[in-house]
Structure 1
Amino acid sequence: MSTSKGDCPPVTELDVQHDINTGNAAPIMMKRRHQAQTEYAVIEDNVAKMLQAGVIEKGNGAWGFPVVLVRKTDGEVRFCIDCRALNKVTKRDVYPLPRIDETLDALRGARLFTTLDLRSGYWQIGVAPEDQDKTAFTTKQGLYRFVRMPFGLMNAPSTFQRMMNEVLRGLTWTTCLVYLDDIVVFTRGGLESHLVQLATVSERLSVAELTLKLKKCVFATRQMEYLDMSSAVMAYAP
């Protein structure tokens, strides 16, 4: 099981990348939005960190989208790219995400749980070289493009779920469940059985060079919170 203490994990060793199929659509270059000086400082700080981490690089293509800053409920500001115009011309990937009701059914009767969280999961997948220009964004300092898969792209969840289903093929629904970068290992037996199952899942993640965010992982607990979606926390206990 690979772990990381930094903000940016390595790219997975799997043969997977994110494609952005825009067909014959013409390149889109959108006007940069005005930001206050305090917002600009946040943007430049994020850009500097992503450049250093190898998440982005300088761009020189014909595509470009504006940066938006989104304030989260805890007050932290999240750096985002407004990809709506790009998503409108992108061919949809219909690969499905797991149904939550089926996830609930699979967990019934389980006695022990371990929840695993991938560190910056999307950044562990590279963007196809021929599509990197389509991820570009503009700042006062110029044009940059993503080398690793960013949030906001229409098909990013499908790309990520497809990869995780492949990594954990044969284990999902019986040993573990995976919803994007959230993994839960569940056991209907005792601690010994749970540790064996956890080791099996961990080995799969290690082979794929997928990196965990340890501070968000919870091991061998009798109750948990999973899939906090639309303010509905799913809690399970034996």
Structure 2
Amino acid sequence: MDCMKGFLKNGLKPNFMKLLRIRYHMGIYESTRMSFGIKNAPAHFQRMMYTIFQENILEGWMVVYIDDIIIYSGTYEDNMQYIHRVLIKCTPMNLQISLKRCNFDQQELLALGHKVSGLSLAIDQNRLAAVLQMPVTKKIKEIESFLGFASY
């Protein structure tokens, strides 16, 4: 499940709004919401999601990575019950789920460059092929770029 515009659902405290002001030709823009590009925004959002869903995560049927929610179970009925419980928690927090970006009733999924199933964890073959096809280089910037790509 994918939370839609998750960062923008987080309001900023007035003292943080002042720090994030942008001056431009028509004046000053002051965001009232967390936006992409703020250094600590992903960590803050991850902590918020963990706080909201802590009980579910500790019960062992849910994983949250920033705005992505993965629910897993042994039966279809349990899965439907877990999805219902997640949606109930999303409503008061104004977290909206993007149905277009959701996959339900899957035996395996791609997550963070890995193919995950109930039986195994493997590197996504498309990502592996992309790494293997990258040209060999000795330029520092290109090596740094490769290391960043390969480590993700």
- Fold equivalence (TM over 0.5): yes
Structure 2 counterpart SS, 1:133: helix
Alpha-carbon distance in 1 for matches of 2:69, 2:9: 15
Cα distance per residue 1:136-173 (max 9 Å; x no partner): 12333332111100122222122111111111011115
Structure 1 counterpart SS, 2:17: helix
Alpha-carbon distance in 2 for matches of 1:207, 1:151: 23
Structure 2 counterpart SS, 1:220: coil
Residue 130 of structure 1 and its aligned partner are, at CA, apart by 2.1
Task: Please tell me whether residue 182 in structure 1 is matched to residue 49 in structure 2.
Answer: no
Percent of pairs identical after alignment?
Answer: 27
TM alignment of 1:52-201, pairs within 5 A: 116-172=1-57, 174-187=60-73, 189-201=74-86
Cα distance per residue 1:47-81 (max 9 Å; x no partner): xxxxxxxxxxxxxxxxxxxxxxxxxxxxxxxxxxx
Task: Please tell me whether residue 234 in structure 1 is matched to residue 119 in structure 2.
Answer: no
Structure 1 counterpart SS, 2:70: strand
Structure 2 counterpart SS, 1:235: strand
Structure 2 counterpart SS, 1:127: coil
Any unmatched runs of 5+ in structure 2? 119-152
Alpha-carbon distance in 1 for matches of 2:16, 2:78: 44
Question: Equivalent residue for 1:212?
Answer: 97
Kindly indicate which of the two structures has a greater share of residues assigned to helix: 2
Alpha-carbon distance in 1 for matches of 2:14, 2:99: 31
Give the TM-score, by structure 1 length.
0.46
Alpha-carbon distance in 2 for matches of 1:205, 1:121: 11
Residue 201 of structure 1 and its aligned partner are, at CA, apart by 1.4
Cα distance per residue 1:63-116 (max 9 Å; x no partner): xxxxxxxxxxxxxxxxxxxxxxxxxxxxxxxxxxxxxxxxxxxxxxxxxxxxx1
Length, aligned pairs only:
117
Structure 2 counterpart SS, 1:162: helix
Any unmatched runs of 5+ in structure 1? 1-115, 228-232
Structure 2 counterpart SS, 1:184: strand
Residue 224 of structure 1 and its aligned partner are, at CA, apart by 1.0
